[in-house]
Structure 1
Amino acid sequence: MEWKNIYRGMVMGTVDLIPGISGGTIAVLLGFYDRLIAAINGIFSREWKKHLAFLIPLGVGMATAIFTFSRVMNWLLKYYEQPTYYFFLGLIIGILPYLFRESEARTTFKWQHILLLAIGIILIILLPLSPNEGAIIEHKTLSTYILLFFSGFVASAAMILPGISGSFVLVVIGVYKTIMHGVSTFDLKVIIVVGIGIALGILTMSKIIHYFLMHYRTATFALIIGLVIGSIFVIFPGWAHNLSQLVISILVFTIGLFAAYVLGKVEY
């Protein structure tokens, strides 16, 4: 078992709670995105034991973070939304140097890769920036659980792509509050239905990403970098309205940059 993946999973799980930020982006920062995609894609191969030894600690870390920090994150977004997003803004911008390094952009990027990068930015910017989160669904029917299943499937497919937030997709669909409430109150029906959707979505999307990384690695990284840059526009919380807010925003933004630097140095 690769036990250090527990802390990696905890970082990914915490980030996946935030609408606008992708756990896949953190996997790139921590230097194991390729390995993650290969492990998910190889679960049903002959080397399934090796891949499970990588994925199980990662899953334990993610689950621990999601169940532990879901209420904390709800509280931060409710009372300190702007500073919270400025921290993650710094984290995302701090990730970009590692992305360019991993893709060897200086020597491999040509005009078509710059075009793909621009397309990635535009795709994210075109997402609705102020979607209706929807109210918590109290009375759940069969159609509700079908919606939750497909929401988990679509969100997980987005979650594994750097730059596209699974939580943000849930906000767009209108089930984010319902799922977060289900997790924080330990509603087993919601957790199981959404969990199955997430698992199937990750398995499906990993095969697609694995194919493109194997055959079009530079082009894939160009698009990923574009998606990550685009996510900056998605989570930007607006400018501070007074001096105290400005100071706090600059401070937490700097902490986010420093966190990305430290995490990148540790892993690379």
Structure 2
Amino acid sequence: MSLSRHHWLGLYLRGVAMGAADLVPGVSGGTIALVTGIYDRLISAIASVGIDALRMVLSGKIKDAWAHVDGNFLVAVGAGILSSVVALASLLNWLLMNYPLPLWGLFCGLILASAIHLFYTSRIDWTGREYALWLTGAGVATVIGLMHATQLTVGPFSVFFAGAIAISAMLLPGISGSFLLLILGMYQPVIGALVNVDLVTVGLFALGCICGLVVFSRLLKALLARAQRATMAILYGFLLGSVIMLWPWQQPISSVIDQHGENRVVQSVPVLPQTYEELVGEPMLFLCLLAFTLGAGLVSLLLSVGSVEH
């Protein structure tokens, strides 16, 4: 499908937002895709990359293969994600180190406003079943957010498994791949492997990511095709339930020492700003509320940036 410059820019900026979201533990690029109306198309395009497309390429049908995988769409979104990661990684890391509470407030406002918007503007004919699935999705995301970290034994299978789980989570709105790595106790080993250029571990993790992407994208595509209302109700629930992971004021429960010798919180519980001030420190209430409002306002901006042809 050809894209006009206006449509390409809209997709590119959506990719920028997705890349920024994926850089923050607890936030998923899939969330931005869902909010901005490209989720179905993204899953369909990713799921189309496979044997059929390869056969077309090998038989010289390059244009057919490109159309089959919705290449223009993937390039536009992918370029946005890549440029965002390159341009914003340092800034977001600095904000996480120096102003974590307002940053969480920003994403909390964005996610909560998105969940409300999607609930009231969705094409779902809400019945008792859809409400039940919506609440189930919200409950699952909430439980994940409150889970105690475990510690998998680092080995070939666990590294592969971690890659498959992390990439699958990134396709879901409201669930962060990096957060699940923390829960599994695999965040530090994976980051350490990247820092130390451990090609075997990195290769196994990447292989897990590829397999997870291939399998899970096809599963999601099938679910969206055969049970779209039910699937979207669950996804909307995931989005709402993820707010608990982004609530700015969290009381740390457990932590681990990362590869830099610093404490990294792996489990926390949400508390009120007053309680946070008593137990942890300065709640930065004004900045958090300001960031929350800005995040909610960004939803309108994301929705208005270009129109996408489906």
Q: Same fold (TM over 0.5)?
A: yes
Distance 1:7 1:193 in 2: 32
Tell me the residue number matched to 2:114: 95
Are the equivalent residues in 1 in contact too, given 2:13–2:305 (CA < 8 A)? no
Are the equivalent residues in 1 in contact too, given 2:101–2:283 (CA < 8 A)? no
Q: Per-residue displacement from partner, 1:5-61 (whole Å, max 9, x unpaired)?
A: 333222212211222221111001121111101111222346530223322332333
Structure 2: 5+ residue stretches without partners = 54-63, 250-271
Distance 2:142 2:49 in 1: 34
Letter in structure 1 aligned against 2:284: Q
Tell me the residue number matched to 2:84: 65
1:113 to 117, 123, 130: 130
Q: Per-residue displacement from partner, 1:85-127 (whole Å, max 9, x unpaired)?
A: 110001101212442356324xx01000000011111111112
2:287 to 243, 248, 259: 248
- CA positional deviation for 1:230: 0.4
Q: Secondary structure at the match of 2:71?
A: helix
Distance 2:172 2:244 in 1: 17
Letter in structure 2 aligned against 1:33: Y
Q: Secondary structure at the match of 1:116?
A: helix
User: What count of residue pairs does the alignment treat as equivalent?
Assistant: 258
1:218 to 205, 222, 229: 229
Are the equivalent residues in 1 in contact too, given 2:17–2:81 (CA < 8 A)? yes
Distance 1:130 1:80, change over 3 A: farther
Q: Equivalent pairs: percent with the same residue?
A: 30
Tell me the residue number matched to 2:205: 194
Matches within 5 A, 1:72-151: 72-100=91-119, 103-105=122-124, 108-129=125-146, 131-132=148-149, 146-151=157-162
Q: Per-residue displacement from partner, 1:210-236 (whole Å, max 9, x unpaired)?
A: 111111111111111111110011221
Distance 1:258 1:30 in 2: 14
Distance 1:161 1:252 in 2: 24
Structure 1: 5+ residue stretches without partners = 135-142
Are the equivalent residues in 2 in contact too, given 1:17–1:73 (CA < 8 A)? yes
Q: Secondary structure at the match of 1:249?
A: helix
1:174 to 170, 178, 185: 185
**Root mean square deviation, CA, Å:** 2.9
Shifted more, 86-95 versus 144-153: the winner is: 144-153
Tell me the residue number matched to 1:40: 46
Question: Larger C-alpha radius of gyration, 1 or 2?
Answer: 2
Distance 2:203 2:102 in 1: 33
Q: Secondary structure at the match of 1:87?
A: helix
Distance 1:68 1:218 in 2: 37
Tell me the residue number matched to 1:263: 302
Letter in structure 2 aligned against 1:13: G
Tell me the residue number matched to 2:75: 56
Shifted more, 231-240 versus 26-35: the winner is: 231-240
Are the equivalent residues in 1 in contact too, given 2:137–2:234 (CA < 8 A)? yes
Tell me the residue number matched to 1:139: none
- CA positional deviation for 1:175: 2.8
Distance 1:178 1:258, change over 3 A: farther
Q: Which structure has more strand as a fraction of its residues?
A: 2
Distance 2:180 2:239 in 1: 15
Q: Secondary structure at the match of 1:126?
A: helix
Q: Secondary structure at the match of 2:284?
A: helix
Are the equivalent residues in 1 in contact too, given 2:133–2:234 (CA < 8 A)? yes
